[in-house]
């Protein structure tokens, strides 16, 4: 039943234009980020002052920045998954056939898949851009220096650190029964509150427990794609700790959403 | 009587302090069309929502096909089809795709079944058009198709003919009769009393959250005594004579005629003739479901 519901949610979401527009935007953003870096460093590359980075750099840089666009989009898609059910009253179909817990887990799994797809697409887009740019520059394609296993693992942990946003979006949309209000509150939190709190209280220990800080911690593991290790600043948690805490946040928020959904009246 | 397909036991729902459904007991039986009537806001959809595990009862309980149903216990509902209120559709998907989504939750439902159901509700030609672009009547047909998809043992239809033209309404009535003939039990909630009278075997009438009438349509209508209108040479003496007739309820004078309620017209005539009064005109008014509905919900 869970897999059937996931397939249903995936079809409902993927048949909209918005996810595809978001992926396209993500590709453009990844490409432009790398483009800016290469253009600004072009003189250094030409003089030999800076060595032309390998593919691992392109991939890690792109994944490092997915949250900039990712968090707002995750919040919007989470709100759509729940809010549309209330607006279209389609939840009655799923709830007559499946339990509320299964239905909500399916939505969360769909969101997790979407985040994974988002990260994978980012990797593909940035990889293609990096390879293309360096082929144009050097006339050669160089796939060396990439730890592919670490790249696959990176897709997993960068998805995990995004999950709290997904669970928060589901909870907010359930509480408000509205795509728009749920997305607006989530959007406000992800874009304004977190960034503002993060910037104003950067030195306060508590800030390190914000989902945004956990994401930042995890990005330090991205260096492993190029078989490098970089020390994590003291203000942030160790990446593995950050991933586990993010997972715990997601589970707690999802648990709250399930509890609420089980108590909620639907329709009538 | 056969097996009960839907039974509520003192089922209640209160929002804040306002009781929307107030300790109702209704029972629908296998193989019948059960009409569920009531004015707007009577609590019909809330009752059906509780029967479908969508709404938590404040008190009481509901059984469907012999199993208890709550929002946490909906397993038996896999044998139920439901169209609750306006059809719940994904507007950016076609009618066929909407059915395909539902088919994923219904074991044994394949593409052939989807095509059959689309044909059954008269939507085969428009199956690939986006549901959001459909007229109200066409959306209603998709909603009906969704409810029929899993070959339900028990079908709950809340205002199924909403937005349909007269020909469409007749098609749905015929469809309901055909389904019942095939063994499906149907609960039909509708405002269209003529429709209910034509299709339903038994009804329950809900008013302000309470069941105010329940039973076989014929029995309920029989219980409502028809009025007898009489034109007699002298109104008052005839009225006095009729007051002595057992069973007579009210006697009023309207437009120069006596209107006698509560007695059979043959008994009224016989009684008058026995007393030497010969009416110059006698007519009876039949009681239909609308009269019954208005009298019990007034």
Consecutive H or E run containing A215: helix A211-219
Closest CB to B90 among A4, A12, A97: A12
Cβ pair B45:A7 closer than 8 A: no
Closest CB to B92 among A4, A15, A91: A15
Numbered ranges of CATH 3.30.70.100 in chain B: 225-286
Give me the mean pLDDT over the A177-204 stretch. Answer: 84
Give me the mean pLDDT over the B266-287 stretch. Answer: 85
Residue A224's nearest CA partner among A159, A131, A152, A125 is A152
Numbered ranges of CATH 3.40.50.300 in chain B: 4-221
pLDDT above 80: residue B288: no
ipTM of the complex: 0.82
Q: How do the domains of chain A map onto residue ranges?
A: 2-263
Strand partners, B211: B206
Give me the mean pLDDT over the B178-182 stretch. Answer: 89
β-strands B33-37, B185-189 pairing:
parallel
Q: Which of residues 126-155 of B touch A (CB under 8 A)?
A: 146
Model pLDDT for residues B227-250, shown as the tens digit of each residue: 788 898 888 889 989 888 887 777
Model pLDDT for residues A222-241, shown as the tens digit of each residue: 888 877 888 878 778 888 99
Cβ pair B89:A90 closer than 8 A: yes
Question: Which CATH class for the B4-221 domain?
Answer: alpha beta
Residue B48 to chain A, least CA–CA distance (Å): 8
Query: pLDDT-derived band of residue B282, with 50, 70 and 90 as boundaries?
Result: confident
**Among A5-19, A163-177, A221-235, the least confident range:** A221-235
Chain centre distance of CA B285: 23
pLDDT above 90: residue B41: no
Lookup: tokens for B166: 């007269």
Residue B60 to chain A, least CA–CA distance (Å): 16
pTM of the model: 0.85
pLDDT above 60: residue B1: no
Burial class from Cβ neighbours inside 10 Å (0-12, 13-18, 19+) for residue B72 reads exposed
Give me the mean pLDDT over the A202-221 stretch. Answer: 84
pLDDT above 90: residue B291: no
Model pLDDT for residues A37-88, shown as the tens digit of each residue: 888 888 888 788 878 888 888 888 888 888 777 888 889 999 999 999 999 9
Chain pair A-B, CB pairs under 8 angstroms: 90
Cα separation, B92 vs B142, whole angstroms: 14
Closest CB to A97 among B46, B55, B78: B78
Lookup: tokens for A57: 């750099």
Mutation choice for A interface testing from B52, B90, B128, B143 by most A CBs within 10 A = B90
Q: What share of chain A is helix, strand, coil (3-state, %, to 5)?
A: 80, 0, 20
Closest CB to B101 among A1, A11, A92: A11
Q: From the CB of residue B116, how many other CB atoms can be counted at a distance below 10 Å?
A: 15
Using CA atoms, how far residue A23 sits from A18, A19, A30, A36, A77, in Å, is: 9, 6, 10, 20, 12
Please tell me if residue B41 touches chain A, with a CB cutoff of 8 Å: no
Burial class from Cβ neighbours inside 10 Å (0-12, 13-18, 19+) for residue A175 reads middle
What is the CATH architecture assignment of B225-286? 2-Layer Sandwich (3.30)
């Amino acid at each position: 039943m869970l897999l059937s519901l996931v397939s249903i949610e995936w079809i409902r979401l993927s048949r909209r234009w918005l996810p595809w527009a978001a992926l396209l935007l993500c590709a453009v953003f990844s490409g432009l980020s790398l483009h800016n870096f290469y253009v600004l460093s072009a003189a250094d590359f030409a003089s030999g002052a800076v060595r032309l980075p390998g593919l691992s750099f392109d991939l890690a840089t792109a994944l490092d920045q997915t949250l900039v666009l990712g968090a707002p989009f995750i919040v919007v898609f989470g709100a759509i998954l729940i809010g549309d059910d209330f607006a279209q009253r389609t939840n009655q179909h799923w709830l007559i056939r499946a339990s509320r817990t299964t239905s909500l887990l399916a939505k969360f799994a769909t969101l997790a898949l979407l985040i994974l797809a988002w990260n994978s697409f980012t990797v593909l887009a940035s990889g293609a851009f990096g390879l293309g740019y360096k082929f144009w520059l050097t006339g050669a394609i160089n796939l060396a220096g990439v730890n592919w296993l670490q790249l696959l693992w990176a897709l997993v942990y960068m998805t995990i650190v995004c999950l709290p946003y997904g669970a928060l979006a589901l909870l907010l949309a359930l509480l408000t029964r509205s795509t728009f209000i749920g997305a607006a509150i989530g959007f406000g939190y992800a874009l304004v509150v977190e960034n503002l709190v993060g910037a104003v209280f950067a030195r306060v220990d508590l800030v390190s427990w914000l989902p945004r800080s956990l994401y930042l911690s995890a990005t330090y593991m991205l260096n492993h794609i190029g078989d490098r290790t970089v020390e994590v600043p003291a203000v942030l948690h160790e990446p593995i700790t950050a991933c586990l805490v993010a997972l715990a946040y997601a589970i707690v928020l999802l648990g709250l959403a399930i509890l609420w959904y089980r108590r909620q009246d639907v329709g009538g | 009587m056969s097996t009960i397909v839907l039974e509520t036991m003192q089922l209640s729902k209160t929002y804040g302090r306002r009781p929307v459904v107030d300790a109702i007991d209704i029972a629908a039986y296998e193989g019948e069309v059960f009409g569920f009537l009531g004015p707007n806001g009577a609590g019909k959809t809330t009752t059906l929502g509780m029967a479908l595990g969508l709404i938590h009862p404040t008190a009481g309980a509901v059984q469907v096909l012999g199993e208890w149903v709550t929002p946490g216990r909906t397993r038996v509902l896999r044998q139920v089809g439901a169209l609750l209120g306006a059809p719940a559709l994904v507007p950016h998907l076609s009618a066929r795709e909407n059915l395909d989504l539902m088919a994923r939750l219904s074991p044994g439902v394949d593409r052939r079944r989807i095509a059959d159901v689309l044909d059954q509700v008269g939507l085969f030609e428009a199956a690939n058009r986006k549901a959001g672009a459909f007229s109200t009547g066409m959306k209603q047909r998709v909603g009906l198709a969704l409810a029929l998809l899993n070959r339900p043992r028990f079908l709950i239809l809340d205002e199924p003919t909403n937005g349909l033209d007269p020909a469409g309404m007749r098609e749905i009535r015929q469809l309901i009769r055909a389904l019942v003939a095939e063994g499906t039990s149907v609960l039909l909630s509708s405002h269209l009393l003529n429709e209910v009278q034509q299709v339903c075997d038994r009804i329950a009438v809900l008013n302000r959250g309470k069941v105010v009438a329940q039973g076989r349509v014929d029995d309920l209508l029989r219980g409502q005594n028809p009025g007898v209108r009489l034109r007699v040479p002298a109104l008052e003496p005839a009225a006095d004579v009729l007051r002595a007739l057992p069973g007579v309820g009210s006697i009023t004078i309207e437009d120069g005629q006596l209107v006698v309620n509560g007695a059979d017209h043959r008994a009224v005539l016989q009684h008058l003739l026995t007393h030497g009064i010969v009416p110059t005109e006698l007519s009876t008014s039949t009681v239909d479901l609308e009269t019954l509905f208005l009298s019990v919900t007034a």
